[in-house]
Amino acid sequence: MYVSDNPYSQVPVAGKITRWEFYSDHEGEQAFQVWRKAGSNTNYEFVGQNIFSSPAAARTSYTVPEADQISVLEGDLLGIYYGLPKGGVKYYKCDGSANPSFKLKTYKLKETFADPTTLAAGTTKTFVSETREQCRMYKFTAAIEPSEE
């Protein structure tokens, strides 16, 4: 599981996720997730996720069934879990010097986690800095229907 704390991955407005848009370069399993900061800078509370298979080499729009739509708050962070076979949603390796707000802001779950269906909303997990590629812009985004409040 990965989460990036950068402007591209932050939820811009409170509401609910009605659709995910992404590019996949091969078939596989993944979950698009929502995390919320919880206390220290690397503890995040799990808000929700949508698990599905990605198609081969395609730009895709996945409409989330109403019962599975995730309620989000402004500032929540989008994350991703790669299943088996590993989903085809990739990321851009960005240049931290050209994008300073992205540098050293990608985190991975500290523990090994094999089954995302066992993750309950409200659970807090600790993440650690990704050491391999620390500047990432994932190739997915969420369409959010703003709250009426």
CA distance 4 to 2: 7
- Taking residues 34-45, report their average pLDDT: 89
- For 148, counting Cβ atoms within 10 Å of its Cβ (0-12 exposed, 13-18 middle, 19+ buried), the class is exposed
Task: Name the pLDDT band for 100 (thresholds 50, 70, 90).
Answer: low
Quick check: 27 and 57 in contact, CB under 8 A?
A: no
pLDDT digits (tens, 9 = 90+) for 111-123: 777 788 889 999 9
The one-letter code for the residue type at 115 is D
Q: Domain residue spans in the chain?
A: 2-146
